Structure 1
Amino acid sequence: MSRSSKNKIFASLALMTFASQLMSAPLPLPGSTSAPLPKPALEQTEQALPSWPVNYTFKQLGRDSDTLLLGINNTEQVEFNLRRDRIASDASLQLSYTASPSLTPTLSHLRVYLNDVLMGVLPIEKDQLGRTTTQKLALDPRLISDFNRVRLEFIGHYTDICEDPANSTLWVNISRSSGITVQEQALSLQNDLAFFPLPFFDPRNSGKLELPFVFAANPTLGEQKAAAILASYFGSQANWRGANFPVLFDTLPAVQSKEAIQPTVVFATNDHRPAFMSDLEKFPAVTAPLVEMIDHPDAPYSKILLVMGRNDEDLAVAAKALALGGHLLRGSRATIDKVETLQPRKPYDAPAWMRTDRPVRFAELIAYPQQLQVNGLQPRPIILDVNLPPDLFVWRNQGIPLRTQFRYTAPSSNDDSRLNISLNDQFMTSLPLLRKDTSSLEELRLAVLSNDSANANDKLIVPSLKIGDRNRLRFDFNFASTLSSAQRDRCQTILPANTQAIIDEDSTIDLSGYHHYISMPDLKAFARSGFPFSRMADMSESIVVVPGKSSPTQISTLLEAVAGISARSGYPAFGLRLSDDWKTASQEDADLLLLGEMAPELRDNPDLSVLLQRQRDMLVQPVGTTRIDANNRRGPSADGRNLPANRVEVTAQAPIAAIVGMQSPTHNQRSIVALLGNDDADYSLLRETLGDSGKLEAIAGSVALIRSSGVYSQLVGDQYFVGNLPWYLLLWYQLSEHPVLLAVLAVISVLLTAFLLWRALSWAANRRLHKDD
């Protein structure tokens, strides 16, 4: 290398060194001789992100009872979710367990995995045997994503040699009080509708949805309708989680700090908008239906969804667009050009209900992949939820066709391995699992009788099997196998096989050909399935009658009632109609959901069993005490004495509410369900009941009285029938209620048949005699 080249290299190195020193040197401020180093830009803009601990007990994660890990069934896992707009900064497992007193200490232990990564080992010490032990184990938050799985594996030993994995002394009990704690930290989201329904709803969040709705004072019917449509969408998404919609007028929900997380939905038109939107420069008038996401003025991590329009019709269009076209939205602001219905809904086509017009494959009923596959000598049961319309008429049916195809690991011999099938926790049949037949197809019929028949006066003996609106079809694979032999002279240990079994997705259940027929009023059908309003999934044959001037609590009750119906049907209420004119609504051929005070012309209805007024409360009772139990069966006095015979009037100050069902006075195939209350305290009771699954199960009969002590249901007044049956089936069904009359008709039929047969034989004999002559 030449000297000139070396000099160039040295000069370049010197220049680079000088530049680096210059960049790292402190920059003096004007008027000062020295200055501290400036903080990096990241530190200058760094803010404390909202963070809070969230606890999940195993019971909240779906383990209603303790879990028993055995030598041959030594694995258990629990799943939990994390919202998409949050990350985990810390996590831990609080494990409460009781180990068998016969275990060998230290050799026996528990392995803990998070998303298939080993987090730690919990050895079972001598002082822990037979005692409840609680230990805390740190989980790596970097492994936590939107869906997470914590797996527990039990490694148990009870002797040094010749162990039997199926020995009854190998067990450890995992308490359902065990839990997972996650320190969640909010993410700063952009105002981008492409993430909708985030941050207003996240399906990964297992808690109840809490979403405030804001209106201008005295919301119009159109604004309430748009809010009900959007609430029904969130309700259908929340499903079993439930949803609360607090309502405010003219103001946003208060936030405790800038780090608060509180999404909100605001409804506004050009001429009627909340007070905080009065600045037309900041919130200009719109020329079309529009949705926009903005920051809360006092809390940047809280987002506000503005649903705006020129008038009430635009609000409804914007609400439908959010529910139907959320995947098309992007940016902070979107204008809705058009929402068009291409095909109307049909009765009983709710997505949450199993189809009854054709055989349904099991693949259409599963909630997650591999739901139909299990493994192990004692595998978990395979459970399918079958939701049906509550008015499906299966009275005295020969059975429901069930075509089941399954595969399994063949047992070593034709032993007692079997597949047990049950419906609603009631045993149905058992099938052998043979050595050679690793694949089998069974044509079964669910031989069921319904105790919830269309007639509540039906006095059938409780059958061995019963099908209703919510059903659980359960398959239990039970494998019998000899794992080992422990004798004094001979010790033989065999490792258990990796036994697997699967119910094929092409298996079918067929409920086609059944009719729809039910006796009303039936508040249990309303509480459990939203019937009759869910008969049309979009509630297009329903009208909600609201007061002329509704309070925030009344509007919250409206939104939560409609959201609850959509949660049970699985579809938003796009066809819902609202009215504040009872006379006009009652003339429509529609089912009515009445919110507020009872209409004056209904107060003299002889079937009305409760009347709530501001001055007094009235209750009409039947001759006997007719109580409706959780299975919609009437009590001991259910012998037809359901006509009003007593009237009680009281005056009290404590809150009271009621849910009443009755027949429409103008259309005999239509029903009225009234949510009755006087003030906000009464409607708070209604909201609490509609959001509590336990209290909903207590609603039945024709009237449910709600007090702070609970729900009291009863059946009073005449019943009516909704639906249609063929004339021959209807005749047989009606005659089945009168066995004496049926016996008399049978005797008359026999005598008439014998008489006609005698006449025919006499005629034939006379004809033969005359022919011979």
Structure 2
Amino acid sequence: MNRHFRKFLFGGLALLLAAGALAATASPATAATRSVTPPQPPAWQTTRTFARLGRPDDTLLLGIRNSDQIEFGLRRDRIANEAGLRLQYTPSPALLPTLSHLRIYLNDALMSVLPIEKEHLGRPVHQQVALDPRLLADFNRVRIEFIGHYTDICEDPAHSALWLSVSRDSSVVVREQALVLHNDLAYFPAPFFDARETARLVVPIVFAAAPGLGEQRAAAILASYFGSEAGWRGASFPVLFDRLPEAEAGKAPQSAIVFASNDRRPAFLADTEKYPPVDAPVVELIDHPHDPYAKILLVLGRDADDLASAATALVLGGELFRGARVTVNRVQRLEPRKPYDAPNWMRTDRPVRFGELIDYPGQLQVSGLQPRPVVVDVNLPPDLFVWRNQGVPLRTVYRYTAPNLSDESRLNVSINDQFISSLPLQSSEQGRVRLEELRLNVLSGDAGAFSDKLLVPALKLGDHNRIRFDFNFASVLASAQRDRCQTMLPVDMRAIIDEESSIDLSGYHHYIGMPDLGVFVRSGFPFSRMADLSETLAVVPAGAGATQVGVLLDVVAGIAARTGYPALGLRLSDDWRTAAATDADLLLLGRLPDELRDDPDLELLLERSRDWSLRPGATHTVAAESRVDISAGAPIAAIVGMQSPSHAQRSVVALLASEAGDYELLRAALADPQRLNAVAGSVSLIRSSGVVSQAAGERYFVGSLPWWLLTWFHLSAYPVLLAVLATISVALAAFLLWRVLRWAARQRLAGDA
């Protein structure tokens, strides 16, 4: 037995030694395998203020209008780990503490109840509410309900003491985490743009080196598409040469777009085995080489023309794309665009239904005793000539819950915050009416549906207009007698502006005085006259650098955001003389050409020691009675508008800068709505302190009018001359009438003789 035991023991030791040797041999590989762990997904915190989410002003909650909801989205390539609400509000000092409170909902699920304490009354309050991230979806609503009480006996829900003001600085805070997505172009424009995102769109554009005109045009086409999709969010396109954007800790992954031809490729595409040369326009979506949570969109081609074809195909036929790689066989535009047909502009060749102007279902319907206003946005071409017009027909069809009593309930109509008209909201007929007849009466529209035609004063219209309908219902809710209190619940009042309501701007001419930089920054005019910029020629510097190309992409994307259509017809040139002879509106970027430096219309161009716009040492006029020479080293840029030197009906808009700092200043101004509001006239100087604008030079007019209307319009600026001409015309008419009467008298006398 002992011998067998020793034999078994020695055999076990041998096996352990062999296993140890095998483990020692395999330990490096095993350790290496265990050391390869997937990287931690990037996570970051996103703060969305109420102002950014569509509440530019503080929201006032009342007793009869006691709720408001904030809507926000979550991108499909994100997941929420944490969510919260940072609420800032001021309650009325007349509220009863504790009995008054707030209810916070997320997607109709109650998240928290916030009592209003005594120390809160009449003072700003800051509260943080945790939101359940598991309830977050693509589209989310945070609803705030105010339950206010000012007395415990005979309370009037419409009392003026019942109010709570929610600050626009309140915010929704979400900690987001990136998700790994498949390389599938079927989801384009994701992950570069997601309509649920409210922040400014930033898409880096990568070239191998300084791009030529063809490469810049291809990038401009794709940038304008993103600009039209981003709309009010704004878009910016940082340009990089021969390098990809790097991931930053605590920030979202940064996807990029790369333009590369067979002979001009960034370094990371140099491996021809992995990325072989192409024989047709190709669009491919790949993973970022250094960030698995970011994507790279490759726009490939044999030359610059292929790059433009690939970009155009992606813009026009992106809904047909699928898979990670798509080869473009042919791109053909079947029908050219027409003037003033921008998707974001209202049609001016026929009456337009309100159903064509709304942004979302239910926009025209409101509810409550004191409902929110119904607002319809109307964007028009800025050169619409409405001078001395009798009015714009506005046909309004509306329905509402008819009040039981005859009172002062009315529908007020205003445009651009200017009152237009007030329509009475008639009460229903009183008497013994059966329920069926009453329902039929409401459904037939006899008591609750009305149609009115209004004439909107034409001079109140601009390029951006807001038509506002305010339903104001008058009602008695409660009695003020404490010993005999009678309280009634408010009726669930509902009202709607019918989608068949219409506004008619047909029959108007197009005529506008230029230069006017205000219409350029607001509507992209005159370039936006053709939505695809087919009558626009961009003049760019030869060998443009990254900042210069970035400014061009930002400007083109900004115009597309205002028209709603990509710049498929944009042309580029780096030769001013050839461009000046072209029958097109010119968008000039960089320095002022030599041919324009001595133009007398440019009365306001600031001189610097470096030649950024004029000749070195030149003196220029800053006012009609003074001349100033200065030297400065801080950045400065300018926007100048003028008439084309070769075509009377064409315009030139010049974005003037010389150095990288100037271009960055110009770029920042174009992205700042407050600075853009200050751009006007014919010259706007941009400095770090702000924008200064001035009208310089003589005005010119683009468009056409009938000869009689054109004569009357221009003579209206000279009332004395008009009076003299009227007097001469009356005298001449009287003289001719006198001559005719004398001739008739002689003829009659001769006949009598």
Normalised by the size of structure 1, how large is the TM-score? 0.88
Note if 1:251 corresponds to 2:243. yes
CA distance in 2, matches of 1:623, 1:706: 17
Instruction: Give per-residue Cα distances to partners, 1:668-705, cap 9 Å, x unaligned.
Output: 11111111111111111111111111111111111111
Note if 1:105 corresponds to 2:97. yes
Q: Which amino acid aligns with 1:516?
A: H
1:229–1:319: 8 Å Cα contact kept in structure 2?
A: yes
Q: Which amino acid aligns with 1:348?
A: Y
Residue in structure 1 matching 2:188, options 192, 196, 220: 196
Residue in structure 1 matching 2:75, options 68, 83, 89: 83
Instruction: Give per-residue Cα distances to partners, 1:442-494, cap 9 Å, x unaligned.
Output: 11110232xxxxxxxxxxxxxxxx21111111111111111111214422111
Task: Look up the match of 2:130.
Answer: 138
CA distance in 2, matches of 1:266, 1:617: 42
Note if 1:621 corresponds to 2:621. yes
Task: Look up the match of 1:492.
Answer: 486
Q: 1:40-439 residue pairs with structure 2 within 5 A?
A: 47-256=39-248, 261-436=253-428, 437-439=447-449
Note if 1:670 corresponds to 2:632. no
Using the TM superposition, give the Cα deviation of residue 87 of structure 1 relative to its aligned residue in structure 2, in angstroms.
Answer: 1.5
2:44–2:250: 8 Å Cα contact kept in structure 1?
A: no
CA distance in 1, matches of 2:250, 2:448: 62
CA distance in 2, matches of 1:724, 1:620: 34
CA distance in 1, matches of 2:335, 2:263: 33
Note if 1:694 corresponds to 2:674. yes
**Identity, % of aligned pairs?**
64
Task: Look up the match of 2:8.
Answer: none
Residue in structure 2 matching 1:605, options 599, 604, 608: 599
Residue in structure 1 matching 2:703, options 720, 723, 732: 723
1:258–1:300: 8 Å Cα contact kept in structure 2?
A: no
Task: Look up the match of 1:658.
Answer: 638
Q: Look up the SS of the partner of 1:383 in the other structure.
A: strand
Q: Which amino acid aligns with 1:500?
A: R
Q: Which amino acid aligns with 1:621?
A: T
CA distance in 2, matches of 1:506, 1:47: 56
1:260–1:299: 8 Å Cα contact kept in structure 2?
A: no
Structure 1 pair 473–617 and aligned structure 2 pair: CA distance change class (3 A): farther
Q: Which amino acid aligns with 1:273?
A: R
Structure 1 pair 489–260 and aligned structure 2 pair: CA distance change class (3 A): closer
Using the TM superposition, give the Cα deviation of residue 43 of structure 1 relative to its aligned residue in structure 2, in angstroms.
Answer: 13
Note if 1:760 corresponds to 2:748. no
CA distance in 2, matches of 1:424, 1:726: 29
1:618–1:648: 8 Å Cα contact kept in structure 2?
A: no
Task: Look up the match of 1:565.
Answer: 559
Q: Look up the SS of the partner of 1:560 in the other structure.
A: helix
Alignment gaps of 5+ in structure 2:
1-15, 24-29, 429-446
CA distance in 2, matches of 1:370, 1:45: 50
Q: Which amino acid aligns with 2:688?
A: S
Task: Look up the match of 1:521.
Answer: 515
Instruction: Give per-residue Cα distances to partners, 1:375-410, cap 9 Å, x unaligned.
Output: 111111111111111111111111111111101111
CA distance in 2, matches of 1:612, 1:331: 55
Bigger Cα displacement from structure 2, 579-588 vs 753-762? 753-762
1:265–1:307: 8 Å Cα contact kept in structure 2?
A: yes
Task: Look up the match of 2:19.
Answer: 31
Alignment gaps of 5+ in structure 1:
1-27, 450-465, 625-644
Task: Look up the match of 1:16.
Answer: none
Structure 1 pair 30–268 and aligned structure 2 pair: CA distance change class (3 A): farther
Task: Look up the match of 2:5.
Answer: none
Q: Look up the SS of the partner of 1:531 in the other structure.
A: coil
1:612–1:676: 8 Å Cα contact kept in structure 2?
A: no
Instruction: Give per-residue Cα distances to partners, 1:554-611, cap 9 Å, x unaligned.
Output: 0001111111111111100000001111111111100111111111111121112326
Residue in structure 1 matching 2:524, options 526, 530, 552: 530
CA distance in 2, matches of 1:521, 1:168: 50
2:44–2:251: 8 Å Cα contact kept in structure 1?
A: no
CA distance in 2, matches of 1:259, 1:611: 40
Task: Look up the match of 1:504.
Answer: 498
Structure 1 pair 260–69 and aligned structure 2 pair: CA distance change class (3 A): closer
Instruction: Give per-residue Cα distances to partners, 1:50-107, cap 9 Å, x unaligned.
Output: 2111111222222222222111111111111111111212111122222223222222
Q: Which amino acid aligns with 1:51?
A: A
2:153–2:482: 8 Å Cα contact kept in structure 1?
A: no
Q: Look up the SS of the partner of 2:729 in the other structure.
A: helix
2:607–2:629: 8 Å Cα contact kept in structure 1?
A: no
Structure 1 pair 157–258 and aligned structure 2 pair: CA distance change class (3 A): closer
Structure 1 pair 618–149 and aligned structure 2 pair: CA distance change class (3 A): farther
CA distance in 2, matches of 1:277, 1:762: 96
Q: Look up the SS of the partner of 1:325 in the other structure.
A: helix
Q: Look up the SS of the partner of 1:704 in the other structure.
A: strand
Note if 1:542 corresponds to 2:536. yes
Q: 1:427-466 residue pairs with structure 2 within 5 A?
A: 427-436=419-428, 437-449=447-459, 466=460
Structure 1 pair 193–490 and aligned structure 2 pair: CA distance change class (3 A): same
Using the TM superposition, give the Cα deviation of residue 260 of structure 1 relative to its aligned residue in structure 2, in angstroms.
Answer: 5.7
Using the TM superposition, give the Cα deviation of residue 146 of structure 1 relative to its aligned residue in structure 2, in angstroms.
Answer: 1.4
Structure 1 pair 30–762 and aligned structure 2 pair: CA distance change class (3 A): farther
CA-atom RMSD in angstroms: 2.2
Q: Look up the SS of the partner of 2:45 in the other structure.
A: strand
Instruction: Give per-residue Cα distances to partners, 1:700-757, cap 9 Å, x unaligned.
Output: 1111111111111111111111000000000101110111111011111111222222
1:359–1:508: 8 Å Cα contact kept in structure 2?
A: yes
Note if 1:584 corresponds to 2:578. yes
1:612–1:678: 8 Å Cα contact kept in structure 2?
A: no
Q: Which amino acid aligns with 2:143?
A: R
Alignment length, in residue pairs? 706
CA distance in 2, matches of 1:170, 1:677: 55
Note if 1:743 corresponds to 2:693. no
Using the TM superposition, give the Cα deviation of residue 309 of structure 1 relative to its aligned residue in structure 2, in angstroms.
Answer: 0.2
CA distance in 2, matches of 1:657, 1:77: 42
Using the TM superposition, give the Cα deviation of residue 44 of structure 1 relative to its aligned residue in structure 2, in angstroms.
Answer: 9.3
CA distance in 2, matches of 1:277, 1:592: 36
CA distance in 2, matches of 1:705, 1:297: 43
CA distance in 1, matches of 2:650, 2:152: 73
CA distance in 1, matches of 2:118, 2:185: 58
CA distance in 1, matches of 2:161, 2:517: 50
CA distance in 2, matches of 1:530, 1:284: 41
CA distance in 1, matches of 2:22, 2:217: 67
1:622–1:716: 8 Å Cα contact kept in structure 2?
A: no
CA distance in 2, matches of 1:559, 1:102: 55
Q: Which amino acid aligns with 1:412?
A: N
1:259–1:300: 8 Å Cα contact kept in structure 2?
A: no
Using the TM superposition, give the Cα deviation of residue 185 of structure 1 relative to its aligned residue in structure 2, in angstroms.
Answer: 1.3
Q: Which amino acid aligns with 1:484?
A: A
1:235–1:242: 8 Å Cα contact kept in structure 2?
A: yes
Q: 1:701-720 residue pairs with structure 2 within 5 A?
A: 701-720=681-700
Task: Look up the match of 1:18.
Answer: none
Note if 1:482 corresponds to 2:492. no
Structure 1 pair 47–653 and aligned structure 2 pair: CA distance change class (3 A): closer
Q: Which amino acid aligns with 2:545?
A: S
CA distance in 2, matches of 1:530, 1:29: 82
Q: Which amino acid aligns with 2:452?
A: E
Q: Look up the SS of the partner of 1:484 in the other structure.
A: coil
Normalised by the size of structure 2, how large is the TM-score? 0.90
